[in-house]
Amino acid sequence: MPRPIRIVPLGGLGEIGLNCLALEYEDRLLVIDAGLMFPDPATMPGVDLVIPDFTWLRERAEHLSALVLTHGHEDHIGAAGFLFREIGRSIPVIGTRLTLALARERLREARVEPELIEIEPRQKLTVGPFDLEFIGVNHSILDGVGLAVATPWGAVIHTGDFRMDQAEARTAWISSSSPNMEKKGCWPFYPIPPTPTNPASPTVKSLWGGPWNGFSGKLPAGSYWPVSPLPWPVYGRWPGQPRRPDAK
């Protein structure tokens, strides 16, 4: 029986901002994002920034393998410097070129200079016991990625923040990445746009056709709403569960 995987959200669930999630496997930790929140002056007067509670990570600092940044928005990178101050040691920071360029300034403000590892979509990288594969996603900032973490239980997919553009070509990451993940033992994660009311719109046509023609079996789906808690982790199948269970 493989060792269990722990997924520990430290922020970003049920709120906008503070995105931070940790994966624990074989006594090693992979941190995904370290974001801040801009406070509401009406409820937090005099407060400049809100950051996640990093106590749990500080208590396990010697087990940290790396910090992965999915994109360059402040609610995903803005607390990276505070994280390094809390854990008191240096770990690699992984991200795309633009994301690392933006995060570098936050790290300089905290007077820390960790190793920066630049990646691109579809690139594979092994960090400790974590085998990572990066998935390009569309968002309101360039160079955003999700990531798939291969485990004995199946692939764990962290989508990061994303949106579906109107241009059909911009959704190519679905057809290029999802079938590959499904072969590795992870069901496809199929995001549904918040307002798919116009059957003639390019978004609806590009989502419901093309990549999924001929797919059989259950298709787990999640709706993306701008105010929904993100990021969403998606879990692989459990032992003994068929790769493509019957759709009944």
pLDDT at 83: 97
Domain annotation covers residue 188: yes
Which of the 8 DSSP states describes residue 82?
A: H
pLDDT at 159: 84
Do the beta carbons of residue 8 and residue 22 sit within 8 Å? Answer: yes
Residue 244's CB is within 10 A of a number of other CB atoms, namely 13
Domain annotation covers residue 55: yes
Domain annotation covers residue 1: no
Which residues, 6 or more positions from 192, have their beta carbon under 8 angstroms from its beta carbon?
207, 221, 222, 223, 224
Which residues, 6 or more positions from 44, have their beta carbon under 8 angstroms from its beta carbon?
50
pLDDT at 162: 78
Quote the mean pLDDT of the chain.
75
What is the number of domains present in the chain?
1
For the segment 38-49, the average pLDDT, to the nearest whole number, is 90
Q: Per residue in 87-125, pLDDT tens?
A: 999 999 999 999 999 999 999 999 999 999 999 998 999
Quote the CA–CA distance of 113 and 81 in Å, as a whole number: 10
Quote the CA–CA distance of 193 and 82 in Å, as a whole number: 34
Quote the CA–CA distance of 144 and 141 in Å, as a whole number: 7
Q: What confidence category does residue 219 fall into, taking pLDDT thresholds of 50, 70 and 90?
A: very low
For the segment 47-62, the average pLDDT, to the nearest whole number, is 95
Q: Per residue in 165-218, pLDDT tens?
A: 555 434 444 434 555 555 556 544 544 444 444 444 444 334 444 444 444 444
pLDDT at 184: 58
- Higher per-residue pLDDT: 139 or 183: 139
Domain annotation covers residue 185: yes
Domain annotation covers residue 246: no
Least confident of 21-30, 101-110, 151-160, 199-208: 199-208
DSSP string, 28-58: EEEEE----BPPPTTTSTT---B----HHHH
The two three-digit tokens of residue 212, written as one number: 């999924």
pLDDT higher than threshold 70 for residue 224: no
pLDDT higher than threshold 60 for residue 229: no
- Higher per-residue pLDDT: 234 or 214: 214
Quote the CA–CA distance of 26 and 8 in Å, as a whole number: 15
Domain enclosing residue 186, as ranges: 6-234
pLDDT at 202: 42
CATH of the domain at 40: 3.60.15.10
> 3-class SS at 243?
coil
Domain annotation covers residue 124: yes
> 3-class SS at 78?
coil
